[in-house]
Amino acid sequence: VRSGAELLRHSANTQSTSILPTTLEPLDTLLGGGLPRGRLVELAARRAAGRFSIVLATLASATSMGEAAALVDLGDHFDPQLAEANGIDLRRLLWIRPHNMKEAVMSAEMITATGFQLVIIDAGLHPLRGKRAPEAAWVRLARTAATCGTAMLVSSPYSLTGTASEAVLKGTVARSRWLGRGRAPRLLAGIDFVLTLEKHRHRKPGSQATLSLEVLP
């Protein structure tokens, strides 16, 4: 680097490659472009709040870029047909179905150390399978992600990662949208969710965004 302009350009390039966009605009805006690589982001919502839709969209984004992604599916909720319709390249996705949280964290650490560019732990719905992992386990997982440059997303019904996470998002349901009124037959059209940035190490928390998702036609 020979000049300040070059340094700025280099910094901007580094910035763009060190973020994995989820391609869901409201979420990317909240997180400053997407999931930071080498960091752990947590998405927590007790009620269904678009968590699984965000998981699938992020997987679709990473695999469409040709990156290797892994889903640690604690609740065993993944549907390959729906995933394919969402644009996930299933050939690049490693699907892991642990029996409890301890196995989920162990599996996530193993695959992160292998060099996967995106690792997602979906803890499923309340109640969680197995005991909660201690906070030290999440700190260790976050450090492994930092060492390997892996973007890590933890989707859970309540906050699990404590101080280990770079950012925490909370989701709530705004409203569901149905076609048809009164006595006419109804048809589910989509659901709107509200995402709130509860914590971020480099951004001011408290900002909100609405995420509108449509039912597969």
Partner 1 sequence: VTRIACFYVPMFPLAARLRSEPDLLQEAVAIVEGNGNSAHVVAATRRARTKGIRPGHSLAQARALLPKLIARMRDAECERTAQEALYDVAESFSPRVEDAGEGVVYVDVTGMDRHYRSSDGENAELALARAAIDAATKIGLPARVGIAASKLAARVAAELPKSPRIVEVGKESEFLAPLPLTRLSPQLDAAATLRRWGIGSIGELATLPENEIASRLGELGRELHSAARGIDPRPLIPRALPPDFREGMDLEWPLVALEPFLFIANAALDRLATRMEIQGFSCKRLELTLALDPDGFYSRAIDLPAPTRDVKTMLTLLRLDLEKTPPGAPVTGFTIVAHPDRPRRAQLSLFGPPALSPEKLATTIARLVSLLGDDRVGMAMAVDGHLPERYAIGNYAPPPPPDARRKPKKSRGLLAARVFRPPLPVEVITREHEGDLEITAINGEGDVSGSVRIASGPWRIESSWWSDAPAAREYWDIELERGGVYRLYQAAPSTEWFIDARYD
Of 110 and 146, CB closest to partner 1: 110
Q: Which two tokens stand for residue 211?
A: 């995420």
Please state the closest distance from residue 80 (CB atom) to partner 1, in A. 4
**Residue 186 touches partner 1, criterion: CB under 8 A:** yes
Q: How far is the CB of 41 from partner 1 (least distance, A)?
A: 17
Please give the Cα distance from 194 to 54 (Å, whole number). Answer: 12
Instruction: Looking at residues 194 to 213 of the shown chain, list those that interact with partner 1 (rule: CB under 8 A).
Output: 212-213
Query: Tokens for 213?
Result: 């998702």
Cβ atoms 211, 205 nearer than 8 A: no
Q: Which of residues 131-170 bind partner 1 (CB under 8 A)?
A: none
Strand partners, 93: 69
Q: Please provide residue 167's backbone torsions phi and psi, each rounded to the nearest 5 degrees.
A: -145, 150
Is 116 an interacting residue with respect to partner 1 (CB under 8 A)? Answer: yes
For helices 101-114 and 135-148, the axis angle rounded to 10 degrees is 20
Task: Name residues contacting partner 1, limited to 59-98 (CB under 8 A).
Answer: 60-62, 64-68, 75-87, 90-98
Nearest-approach distance from CB 29 to partner 1, in angstroms: 14
Task: Answer yes or no whether residue 57 interacts with partner 1 by CB under 8 A.
Answer: yes
